[in-house]
Amino acid sequence: MHEMSLIESVVGLIEDERRRQTFSRVRTIRLRVGKLGHAEPEALRFCFDAITAGTIAEGAELLIQMVPGAGWCDQCDRTVPLDDRFEPCPFCGSQVRMTAGDDLKVAELEVD
């Protein structure tokens, strides 16, 4: 389950940020998770408490915002919605270059 390593990486980023900003507690972590990415929100939630135990993020609330997939069609010169990584353009059927929905980002931290 790679979600465990993803949460470990998030905790590492938070620890790095704590050294820069000197806070003592994390109240809320807001993640943006791409719909077309390989991270399952429920698996992230499942791992969260175990991975954050004993860290600065222990007891924090995890909020996950799903980011829809989108791509750029060179034929139509427009951004189109994507429900699948390799989905063709819904307007012309051409290959689409994915531009959104494949990432995982720490969007915001609420800290003390």
pLDDT tens digits along 70-86: 999 999 999 999 999 99
pLDDT of residue 1: 58
List all residues 6 or more positions away from 72 whose beta carbon is below 8 Å from its beta carbon.
78, 79, 80, 96, 97, 99
What's residue 11's pLDDT? 97
The residue to which tokens 């991270």 are assigned: 39
Phi/psi at 80 (5° precision) = -125, 150
pLDDT at 4: 95
The pLDDT score that the predictor gives to residue 33 is 97
Domains and CATH numbers, the chain: 2-68+101-111 (3.30.2320.50)
Widest Cα–Cα separation across the chain: 53
In DSSP terms, 67 is beta-bridged to 34
Q: Which residue stretches of the chain have pLDDT < 50?
A: none
Rounded alpha-carbon distances, angstroms, from residue 92 to 80, 88, 104: 11, 8, 30
